[in-house]
Amino acid sequence: MRVGFIGLGRMGSAMAERILAAGHPLTVYNRTAARAEPLAALGATIARTPAEASRDAEAVVTMLADDAALDDVVFGDAGMLGALPRGAVHVGASTISAACAQRLAGAHTAAGQRYVSAPVFGRPEAARAGKLNVVLAGPDDALRAVEPLCSAIGQRTYRFGADPAAANIVKLGGNFLLGAMVEALSEAFTLARKSGIDVQAFSDLLTSSLFDAPAYHTYTRLLLAGGDAEPSFTAALGLKDVRLALAAAETAQVPMPIASVVRDAFVSALARGYGERDLTVLGRVAAENAGLG
Amino acid sequence: MRVGFIGLGRMGSAMAERILAAGHPLTVYNRTAARAEPLAALGATIARTPAEASRDAEAVVTMLADDAALDDVVFGDAGMLGALPRGAVHVGASTISAACAQRLAGAHTAAGQRYVSAPVFGRPEAARAGKLNVVLAGPDDALRAVEPLCSAIGQRTYRFGADPAAANIVKLGGNFLLGAMVEALSEAFTLARKSGIDVQAFSDLLTSSLFDAPAYHTYTRLLLAGGDAEPSFTAALGLKDVRLALAAAETAQVPMPIASVVRDAFVSALARGYGERDLTVLGRVAAENAGLG
Amino acid sequence: MRVGFIGLGRMGSAMAERILAAGHPLTVYNRTAARAEPLAALGATIARTPAEASRDAEAVVTMLADDAALDDVVFGDAGMLGALPRGAVHVGASTISAACAQRLAGAHTAAGQRYVSAPVFGRPEAARAGKLNVVLAGPDDALRAVEPLCSAIGQRTYRFGADPAAANIVKLGGNFLLGAMVEALSEAFTLARKSGIDVQAFSDLLTSSLFDAPAYHTYTRLLLAGGDAEPSFTAALGLKDVRLALAAAETAQVPMPIASVVRDAFVSALARGYGERDLTVLGRVAAENAGLG
Amino acid sequence: MRVGFIGLGRMGSAMAERILAAGHPLTVYNRTAARAEPLAALGATIARTPAEASRDAEAVVTMLADDAALDDVVFGDAGMLGALPRGAVHVGASTISAACAQRLAGAHTAAGQRYVSAPVFGRPEAARAGKLNVVLAGPDDALRAVEPLCSAIGQRTYRFGADPAAANIVKLGGNFLLGAMVEALSEAFTLARKSGIDVQAFSDLLTSSLFDAPAYHTYTRLLLAGGDAEPSFTAALGLKDVRLALAAAETAQVPMPIASVVRDAFVSALARGYGERDLTVLGRVAAENAGLG
């Protein structure tokens, strides 16, 4: 199918590569045009506006930083809304608010287009390997239409019904659980460290028994590396996601005290100048709060 | 080796069975004597006091509810301290405070005996199958001496040096991480439920990707069952453990805000009359706090 | 001076009465027109749109529920922005976000008008008695221009410089402190109640010694009345205000863990169906969390 | 009446002076004997042991740091228990746990003596001026017996029934409210400071309106002074008190999330080396958590 791709950050570029590799003709757009070049070298066409990336597409994937960026690409000048053909599908892969997903679904439906939410779990390494997990929700026919894209991008797709926002809430819930895990590990490791316990051995115990799961392997390794790893997911993005989870929870009237603690920890991380570090910098915040340098 | 075993609750009985099955002559003691009968049927000798269970032993394992119970068994009338032979090892498998472990180590050393901490990870099912993970710390020679016991009880032993209290802090840290996981899942599932999302599907996504770990499989299943499962680990015990973790953290001067949230949730569970339910009753507390019946 | 007044809820009506009583010609607007009648009986002119209330005014006071209501009144059809004379002052008394205040200030300045933030402390009883405390910020000349209004409304005015948003943050900070006080008292009273202590005597001790302050007198009385008082400030508004405080804090990169706890308590109050009760219903939430009916 | 006084820290010395000034013959004991000299100069007799201070007394007041110190003085060698005459009253003024108060009451009753709890509110300045507020609970006859002492020490006495522990819980509840106030103010002032607001003006607004209470005047002044004031109540003592409040709340099965936040803040203060500073050092902790130096 003819595909457009908008938003070529680390995750977006890797996903676009997978779509190209699966044989779909691809037109790409990125605000900073230079980021599109490597894909052009692989055969993608470069568009100068979101509209241009949408005009002939059967589906357009967006992978952007936040609600504002997505609103801009859809509703702004030379945006998707005026250009996407009737019946074509906007596949929203960004981690955005449930409210934004509902706004987009309404606008696309009113324009005779279709919208599905398709946020993904996985860091850029997983995206390059086609190992993402895709969370999908939207009208049945549209879900069927984008199946080839989902298989190009991910190893498995999980469906959550006809309301696109459901996929976004699932994604926010999952990211909340990751944030909670990182903060809990940060506290436990700090306790171990200040009690004279070998933290590496403690981590090995956890990840070879109770918590022998991909997320624990990845994040304990990053925590033990001291939060200085090349960030593939920054504290600033972590804050954004837990803020969106709390907003969805407020709408649904659900108190989430652990989410509040994680949010406070991220705010403190940003206040200390750690916003652009990997989110495991929460380990450093916990250590500093315990008087460690 | 000649072994004594004190404390025949669900965990203790299963562990004692494994020791018998490994061929060690075993003398058992339990305050409520009836609980010793099944082990007698398997060949164990029944002792009428902790002292009697200790008198001829090379090692005595204790698996009791809390610090107070252990203090009683060691320091009380007809207790272990006056009966355990010189050089014999007290193997403390209970989840107790670091302070209690230090007190025991001091007393046994002063009496010419030895003490190691050997708390275990795993629920009673795992204990019966010899699949526990043993966390071991104490003087080197004593650790070597009890190796046969550890292999009888567990599938793997993790060593944490010469200070017995280190093993207890590792155990408390691990249990804190379990409590944090259960509370975070409770919040995320409540958000999903009140947002109209299929919680079983959400759980399947989590446990087949990021969180494909034994603890997540076990506890998401129990949470989805509504907290009415036969408790193998009660909320009251959960509260005890997080209280001990916070006490160890206060000693080490480590703030643990997530542990505080988990503690508050357990206190609320007890206040609602859920103290003797499985600790996943935290899911019910989170649901009630969100207005669900 | 010729004054417009927009927003005639319980607070707004009381403030408008004071302005009339001080002898200023007053034109009033409220979305639900019936609420304007008592003021008409006192001599106010009724406007049919915000524009009509602004057209001849030297100053227009707005007292509305939230950012959205205010945006509507200023930027909407027949809104203030197109009607307020050059040099006239918009006096924003609503408890709104700092971001909204900045947006309004920008728009009015661009239109040759002036904007000051003037949120107030005090419940409706205080407003009727002219006993409000006014928090004022904005350009110096505009502050001087609205002095007569501030003295009509309040017993004292506190100035916070030229940036209108400063007054809004002070107001949000003050409301946060009230929410924190109510939640802390709710916890302390629940502890006393479940410990068999005479809560009225405990409250008397507090308010006749350490905490002999108006806010403690008012709110302990409401808490002891069980949260069933006629609400002059609802839990739903309490949630709105602490959400805005947390948003301002996130912008300023300040973690506020107590604000997070207060927010969670309000979310739980709304989830239990208590959104329209007086904010002291937090006492009921705390009691329920402790297993009291 | 013949009075003994044990524990001559800053609070104890000031209280003992008041008792002397009221004309009661006084025998004093302090572990570090030098602290007793100024009182000897005023006419007090110096005892070499707690027993000696108790032997001829009708009432003995204790003002010690914690449960352990009090247990030592009562149950230790040459302690009060073996020396206090039958019918004499132990007046426990220390801030101790409810459990400790119950233990003391039981032991004294068994020995034919009487025990009342009489913790006090007020800093050392207030003690010297006889302006403490006394919280009193115990058997009626004993309360009547110690009335002259209470009037010597305090400006007002509040009674809480026959169970001594009630007074201790009231004291812990009050200190919790002070801690909550200090932490909430720390967060609000940090928000103001990072938002470019004049914090002194903000504080003036609060203490001249809503929060015009002694505690707010005292603690805002100390907070604005930056936590470097001569400590009359240290962070380490603040931690002790909130820990005891949480223990009483756990016994009563009451979740206290704000108390948990305050506890975490104090633990962090100690971890940063601020344990011996005035408890308003929480303002510094909040500022550091927000990235301020």
pLDDT for position B75:
97
Backbone angles phi and psi of B45, in degrees to 5: -90, 140
Looking at chain C, the domain(s) classified CATH 3.40.50.720 span: 3-162
DSSP state string for C80-149: STTTSPTT-EEEE-S---HHHHHHHHHHHHHTT-EEEE--EES-HHHHHTT-EEEEEBS-HHHHHHTHHH
CA distance D110 to C91: 71
CA distance C250 to C238: 18
Please check whether residue C258 is in contact with residue A270, taking contact to mean a CB–CB distance below 8 angstroms: no
Please check whether residue A26 is in contact with residue A19, taking contact to mean a CB–CB distance below 8 angstroms: yes
| Nearest C-alpha neighbor of C117 from the set C70, C76, C152, C48 | C70
| Nearest C-alpha neighbor of A187 from the set B184, B163, D30, D68 | B184
Bridge partners for B26 per DSSP: B3
Which residues does A43 contact at the CB level (< 8 Å), separation at least 6?
A20, A26
Amino acid making up residue B152: A
- Say whether pLDDT at B129 is over 70: yes
Nearest chain C CA: its distance from B100 CA (Å): 29
CA distance B259 to B267: 12
Q: C261 and A264: CB-CB below 8 Å?
A: no
Could you report the per-residue pLDDT of A125-179, keeping only the tens digit for each? Answer: 899 999 999 999 999 999 999 999 999 999 999 999 999 999 999 999 999 999 9
3-class DSSP state of B136: strand
Mutation target for C interface from A183, A242, A246: give the one with most C CBs within 10 A.
Answer: A246
pLDDT for position C204:
97
Among C257, C268, C273, select the one facing B257 at the smallest CB separation.
C257
Residue of chain B minimizing CA distance to A250: B191
Looking at chain A, the domain(s) classified CATH 1.10.1040.10 span: 172-289
* Residues found in chain A: 293
Residue of chain C minimizing CA distance to A249: C267
Q: To which H or E segment does residue B273 belong? A: none
Mean pLDDT value across chain B: 96
Q: What mean pLDDT is predicted for residues B165-181?
A: 98
Could you report the per-residue pLDDT of C214-224, keeping only the tens digit for each? Answer: 999 999 999 99
- Say whether pLDDT at B227 is over 70: no
Looking at chain C, the domain(s) classified CATH 1.10.1040.10 span: 168-289
Catalytically annotated residues of C: 171
Among D272, D289, D290, select the one facing A291 at the smallest CB separation.
D272
* Portion of chain A with pLDDT greater than 70, in percent: 99
Alpha helices (H) along B111-160: 124-128, 140-145, 147-153
Two tokens, residue D38: 């100024």
Return the residue matching tokens 């006492």.
C283
* Portion of chain B with pLDDT greater than 70, in percent: 99
Two tokens, residue C228: 């069933």
> pLDDT-derived band of residue A33, with 50, 70 and 90 as boundaries?
very high
Could you report the per-residue pLDDT of D199-236, keeping only the tens digit for each? Answer: 999 999 999 999 999 999 999 999 999 866 678 789 99
Q: What mean pLDDT is predicted for residues B250-271?
A: 98
Thinking of the domain C168-289, which architecture would CATH place it in? Orthogonal Bundle (1.10)
CA distance D147 to A172: 62
Could you report the per-residue pLDDT of D84-96, keeping only the tens digit for each? Answer: 999 999 999 999 9
According to DSSP, the β-strands at A132-136 and A120-121 are: antiparallel
Q: What mean pLDDT is predicted for residues D11-33?
A: 97
CA distance C30 to D145: 66
Q: A255 and C243: CB-CB below 8 Å?
A: no
pLDDT for position A198:
97
Q: What mean pLDDT is predicted for residues B11-31?
A: 97
Any idea what DSSP says for residue B154?
E
CA distance D277 to C35: 55
Mutation target for C interface from D123, D169, D176, D187: give the one with most C CBs within 10 A.
Answer: D187
Please check whether residue A23 is in contact with residue A43, taking contact to mean a CB–CB distance below 8 angstroms: no
pLDDT for position D130:
92
Q: What mean pLDDT is predicted for residues C167-195?
A: 98
Please tell me which chains touch B, using 3 or more CB pairs under 8 Å as the contact test: A, C, D
CA distance A35 to B244: 52
* D289 contacts in chain A (CB < 8 Å): 268, 271, 289
10 Å Cβ neighbour count for B87?
12
Q: D176 and C188: CB-CB below 8 Å?
A: yes
Could you report the per-residue pLDDT of A254-274, keeping only the tens digit for each? Answer: 999 999 999 999 999 999 999
CA distance C168 to C164: 7
pLDDT for position C228:
67
* Residues found in chain B: 293
Among D271, D273, D289, select the one facing A268 at the smallest CB separation.
D289
Q: Which parts of B32-178 are beta strand (E)?
A: 45-46, 59-62, 89-92, 114-117, 120-121, 132-136, 154-159
Q: B211 and A209: CB-CB below 8 Å?
A: no
Return the residue matching tokens 């009225």.
C200
Q: To which H or E segment does residue D40 belong? A: helix D37-41
CA distance A221 to C152: 64
CA distance D94 to D171: 10
Bridge partners for D27 per DSSP: D4, D45
Please check whether residue D65 is in contact with residue D92, taking contact to mean a CB–CB distance below 8 angstroms: no
Which residues does D95 contact at the CB level (< 8 Å), separation at least 6?
D119, D168, D171, D172, D175, D237, D240, D241, D244
Could you report the per-residue pLDDT of C59-106, keeping only the tens digit for each? Answer: 999 999 999 999 999 999 999 999 999 999 999 999 999 999 999 999
Amino acid making up residue A245: A
Higher pLDDT, D27 or C123: D27
Provide the CATH number for the domain formed by B3-162 in this structure. 3.40.50.720
> pLDDT-derived band of residue A40, with 50, 70 and 90 as boundaries?
very high
| Positive or negative torsion for Cα B203, B209, B214, B216 | negative
> pLDDT-derived band of residue B232, with 50, 70 and 90 as boundaries?
confident
Q: What mean pLDDT is predicted for residues A215-243?
A: 90
Could you report the per-residue pLDDT of B24-57, keeping only the tens digit for each? Answer: 999 999 999 999 999 999 999 999 999 999 999 9
- Say whether pLDDT at C227 is over 90: no
By the 10 Å C-beta count (0-12 exposed, 13-18 middle, 19+ buried), A158 is classed as: buried
Two tokens, residue A283: 């380990």
User: In chain D, what is the greatest distance between 2 CA atoms, to the nearest angstrom?
Assistant: 64
Q: To which H or E segment does residue D92 belong? A: strand D89-92
Q: What mean pLDDT is predicted for residues D156-174?
A: 97
- Say whether pLDDT at A228 is over 70: no
pTM, rounded to two decimals = 0.96
Strand order in the sheet with C154-159: C120-121, C132-136, C154-159
According to DSSP, the β-strands at B132-136 and B120-121 are: antiparallel
pLDDT for position A124:
87
Catalytically annotated residues of A: 171
Could you report the per-residue pLDDT of D120-131, keeping only the tens digit for each? Answer: 999 888 999 999
Provide the CATH number for the domain formed by A172-289 in this structure. 1.10.1040.10
| Nearest C-alpha neighbor of D173 from the set C197, B247, C177 | C197
Mean pLDDT value across chain D: 96
Nearest chain B CA: its distance from D269 CA (Å): 9
pLDDT for position A125:
87
- Say whether pLDDT at B228 is over 70: no
Among A253, A264, A267, select the one facing C271 at the smallest CB separation.
A253
Q: What mean pLDDT is predicted for residues B231-237?
A: 89
Strand order in the sheet with B120-121: B120-121, B132-136, B154-159
| Positive or negative torsion for Cα A196, A201, A203, A206 | negative
Could you report the per-residue pLDDT of C97-132, keeping only the tens digit for each? Answer: 999 999 999 999 999 999 999 999 998 889 999 999
Q: What mean pLDDT is predicted for residues D139-148?
A: 97
Distances (CA, A) of A262 to A30, A198, B246, D15: 32, 25, 18, 46
Two tokens, residue C55: 């057209």
**Which pairs count as long-range contacts for B14-18, CB under 8 Å and 24+ apart, including other chains?**
B14/B124, B14/B127, B14/B128, B15/B61, B15/B63, B15/B93, B15/B120, B15/B127, B15/B132, B15/B153, B16/B44, B16/B61, B17/B42, B17/B128, B18/B127, B18/B128, B18/B130, B18/B152, B18/B153
Distances (CA, A) of D2 to D53, D85, D117: 10, 12, 19
Residue of chain A minimizing CA distance to B265: A257
3-class DSSP state of A65: coil
